[in-house]
Amino acid sequence: MQHLVQMKITPQARPANDEEGLNFVNNLIYPTLKRCQQLQQEGKIVAGGPISGTTGFALVVETDTLQELDQLLTSLRAWPRMETTVTPLTTFADRASAVEAGLKRLQEHTALTPDSQS
């Protein structure tokens, strides 16, 4: 299953000075970028990347279970300092199937209503 994962640094986690900034980049951001590259090579991150102009990521992540997704996200060094939103994604084929089923129900309902006879 695929998930859209959006991660942005929390305001409280922003470095307050150059020393904190250096530690932040060396200990959190750089290791997170390297881990994301590894996950991309493994096929776990299938699209996305760092968000331009901010400290954040927008990723499409492929996992078999929610537990695997949770483990993947918590393996990112910057994760504890990020606000993370996960949106489950369906496939275009699955959505088309659901739309077709709904359309069929509407057509059947419309054929049964007295107003449709005129």
pLDDT, tens digit (0-9, with 9 covering 90-100), for 18-63: 999 999 999 999 999 999 999 999 999 999 999 999 999 999 999 9
pLDDT for 68: 97
Q: How far is CA 54 from CA 7, 39, 104, in A?
A: 10, 21, 45
pTM of the model: 0.80
Q: Which of 87, 38, 80 is nearest to 58 (CA)?
A: 87
Domains in the chain, please, with CATH?
Answer: 2-90 (3.30.70.1060)
- Going by pLDDT thresholds of 50, 70 and 90, the confidence category of residue 115 is low
Instruction: State the DSSP string of 38-102.
Output: HHHHTTSEEEEEEPTTSSEEEEEEE-SSHHHHHHHHHTSTTGGGEEEEEEEE--HHHHHHHHHHH
